[in-house]
Amino acid sequence: MSDILPSAKQTEYRNKLEFTFSNKMWLTGEEILSGIAIEQRNALGFHIPRMFDKVLDIKNCYLQAEPSNSIRIALRSFALENNLSFYDIREHKGLLRNLIIRSSSTGELMIIVCFGEQDQAGIQLVMEYLLTGFPQITSLMYTVNLKMNDTIADQNILSWKKKDHIMEEMEGLKFKISPKSFYQTNPGQAYELYKVVREFAGLTGKELVYDLYTGTGTIANFVARQAKKIIGVEYIPDAIEDAKSNSILNGISNTSFFAGDMKNILNDVFLSVNGRPDVIITDPPRNGMDEAVTHKIAAINPERIVYVSCNPATQARDLLILCEKFDVVRIQPLDMFPHTHHVENVVLLQRKKEVSTVVSTGDAR
């Protein structure tokens, strides 16, 4: 197990932040003890841990570079000046619900505003303000989320007079990022992560590789030039379309991508059509792999498995199953999230060598 690989940037390292509008601002101890009545309780910031309805109003965020702070502060002021309602999560009403800011190393900027009401006049007022006030925005998007939860993966996200994606670049490769697409939030450290994955995979140009939970195909396209064929699988159809576009964009012709639930798509028919992989790269979400998927990977029995995880606890759980047939050879943790206890962890597993047993009938003395 190697030492944790540190992040070169300790502040302004994130390329994506999601802020919440709330009419229930969290008051600090100093504000409460001051005795000063605070009439205005609207906030735009982060949720307080273990208090779903309280939001800390952020004055300055050190996690993302400008113009992130400027846009958030200006939009909050504009909303207050125009009496636009901030979301009430208990009552499930209010126009302004969430603000998502995504940036890229290429200088492009995506803004997604999530509204909690079908108020076309209010929506137009906000979107036109952002359009004219911040010309550096290259992708201006919005959605109306009337559900009880904040996730927008199942929502229709619309473009407002701008393009519907931003572009990221890594080692000469270009990656298209749509509103629902996953891309590592620390892009500088993501490059170090992908280099570790490529090294662990040990590709020679002859291998068939399965990239499970491929997202927008970032890892798949990153290692494609060192492999014979890459098969990527991902649950979100929009991400798979981006993965295909990224291969075309970079002139990569040895990749194929499929959308579907991993435990349903990774079956014997799929293997017979696409071939049994020599190497499996898997990068599941925080809850790890479904137990059926883990057992299926063990049954496929590739030469190597490279398991990438943002949650070493669920990774360890899955390794207990895989270690029946595989040896853990190398472990490389990376600090993807400075100032937190979280790490990204890469584990290389090698198929166990069959132990040949020689039976002697001779004198054992």
The mean pLDDT values, 10 residues at a time, for the chain of 365 residues are 96 97 91 81 94 92 97 98 97 97 96 98 98 98 96 94 94 92 92 98 98 95 98 92 95 97 96 98 96 97 98 97 97 96 97 62 43
The span from the CA of 304 to the CA of 209, in Å, is: 10
Crossing angle of the two packed helices 68-81 and 120-133, in degrees rounded to 10 = 140
Paired strand residues for 170: 173
In a domain, 147, yes or no: yes
Catalytic site includes residue 323: no
The span from the CA of 183 to the CA of 361, in Å, is: 61
For every residue of 22-73, DSSP letters joined together read ESSBPPPHHHHHT--------EEEEEETTEEEEEEEPS--SSS-TTHHHHHH
- Considering the domain architecture, whether residues 177 and 282 belong to the same structural domain is answered as yes
Position 84 scores a pLDDT of 98
Q: What is the CATH number of the domain that holds 86?
A: 2.40.50.1070
Buried b (16+ CB within 10 A) or exposed e, 178-196: bbbbbbbbbbebbebbbeb
For every residue of 304-365, DSSP letters joined together read EEEEEES-HHHHHHHHHHHTTTEEEEEEEEE--STTSS--EEEEEEEEPPP---PPP-S---
Q: Structurally, how many domains does the chain consist of? A: 2
The span from the CA of 80 to the CA of 21, in Å, is: 11
- Considering the domain architecture, whether residues 64 and 120 belong to the same structural domain is answered as yes
Tokens of 7: 């992040």
Position 363 scores a pLDDT of 45
The residue count for the chain: 365
- Considering the domain architecture, whether residues 312 and 279 belong to the same structural domain is answered as yes
The span from the CA of 237 to the CA of 181, in Å, is: 10
In a domain, 4, yes or no: no
- Give the C-alpha distances (Å, rounded to integers) separating 275 from 67, 200, 322: 47, 21, 21
- Considering the domain architecture, whether residues 82 and 130 belong to the same structural domain is answered as yes
Q: Which of 61, 114, 310, 323 is catalytic?
A: 310
End-of-domain residue from the set 112, 133, 164: 164
The span from the CA of 297 to the CA of 317, in Å, is: 14
In a domain, 95, yes or no: yes
Residue linked to tokens 């075309």: 248
In a domain, 271, yes or no: yes
CA 114 to chain centre: 19
- Considering the domain architecture, whether residues 189 and 105 belong to the same structural domain is answered as no
Q: What is the CATH number of the domain that holds 327?
A: 3.40.50.150
Tokens of 146: 């009337």
- Considering the domain architecture, whether residues 185 and 159 belong to the same structural domain is answered as no
In a domain, 225, yes or no: yes
In a domain, 290, yes or no: yes
- Considering the domain architecture, whether residues 37 and 78 belong to the same structural domain is answered as yes
- Considering the domain architecture, whether residues 144 and 225 belong to the same structural domain is answered as no
End-of-domain residue from the set 122, 142, 164: 164
In a domain, 316, yes or no: yes
Sequence-ordered list of residues with C-beta below 8 angstroms from that of 178, at least 6 positions apart, any chain: 164, 165, 216, 238, 239, 241, 242
- Considering the domain architecture, whether residues 94 and 188 belong to the same structural domain is answered as no
Paired strand residues for 5: 334
Position 297 scores a pLDDT of 98
- Considering the domain architecture, whether residues 191 and 151 belong to the same structural domain is answered as no
In a domain, 267, yes or no: yes
Position 182 scores a pLDDT of 84
Position 358 scores a pLDDT of 45
End-of-domain residue from the set 148, 164, 180: 164
**Quick check: 150 and 114 in contact, CB under 8 A?**
yes
- Considering the domain architecture, whether residues 22 and 36 belong to the same structural domain is answered as yes
Q: Rounded to 5 degrees, what are φ and ψ at 334?
A: -130, 140
pTM for this model (two decimals): 0.88
- Considering the domain architecture, whether residues 193 and 333 belong to the same structural domain is answered as yes
Give the residue numbers spanning the domain of 323: 170-351
- For residue 154, the tally of other CB atoms under 10 A from its CB is 9
The span from the CA of 232 to the CA of 282, in Å, is: 10
